[in-house]
Amino acid sequence: MTTVSVRLPARPLTLDDVANLAQSDPEHRYEMQEGNLLVTPPADDEHAEMIMRIGAWLIAGGFAGRVLATPGVQAGSSGRSPDIVVRRTVWIDAAEVLLAVEIVSPGSVELDRYLKPVEYAQAAIPNFWRVERDGPPTVHRFGLGAGADGRAIYVPRGAVLLDDLLAGPVPDLAA
């Protein structure tokens, strides 16, 4: 059994509070119902496999790009984490995106390296990573900055081999 120590505010909880709790404790699932905090353990192996199987089935059935596993969903004043969600549309508002990742492909080199980063910066997406596949896969990380003319541009934040990135912790994307 895992013991978690959590300090709750001396006021009614908000969905942002619940999101912060969930982010700080990946061993539990947090939901909110009418201001009440609900804490459940993560899915067991059988449950997790069912999520994957149903998700793969939905993707293969024509919902590619619209299937999400365990996202946070605001339902009125409640916050839920359904096991699987199928979105109505593929498009997500850029204001909701913390990170955009593009893996450079032979058929989209110019788009992935030059056009997409400009569009993402203009949309104020705070982080952009480009994965180059010449040689060992390398992740080039960029953060939002401003050019000499004041326009939004990406500023290099370093490069790392993909294997090294995946072997370490996920960086703070809000910084």
Read off the pLDDT of residues 101-120 as tens digits, 9 standing for 90 and up. 999 988 889 999 999 999 99
Which residue type, as a one-letter code, is found at position 113? R
What backbone phi and psi angles, to 5 degrees, belong to 93? -60, 130
pLDDT of residue 139: 96
Cβ atoms of 35 and 77 within 8 Å: the answer is yes
The pLDDT of 16-27, averaged and rounded, is 83
DSSP H helices in the chain = 15-24, 45-58, 109-110, 116-122, 162-167
Confidence band for 1, pLDDT divided at 50, 70 and 90: low
Average pLDDT value for residue range 89-98: 84
From the list 39, 102, 30, the residue with the least C-alpha distance to 71 is 30
State the pLDDT confidence band at 171, using cuts at 50, 70 and 90.
confident
Q: What is the arithmetic mean of pLDDT over 139-145?
A: 97
Q: Are 73 and 30 in contact (CB under 8 A)?
A: no
| Region of poorest pLDDT, from 9-18, 68-77, 103-112 | 68-77
The architecture in CATH of the region 15-86 reads Alpha-Beta Complex (3.90)
Q: Whose CA is closest to 56, among 44, 47, 45, 69?
A: 69
pLDDT band at 77, cuts 50/70/90? confident
Contacting residues for 131 by C-beta, under 8 A, at least 6 apart:
101, 102, 103, 104, 137, 138, 139, 140, 162
CB 98 within 8 A of CB 124: no
How large is the average pLDDT for residues 6-32? 83
Annotate 1-35 with b (16+ C-beta within 10 A) or e (fewer): eeeeeeeeeeeebeeebbeebbeeeeebbbbbeee
Q: How confident is the model at residue 2 (pLDDT cuts 50, 70, 90)?
A: low
For residue 63, is pLDDT > 80?
yes
Q: Which residue ranges does the chain devote to CATH 3.90.1570.10?
A: 15-86
- Report DSSP state, residue 14: -
pTM: 0.62
d(CA 78, CA 26): 20
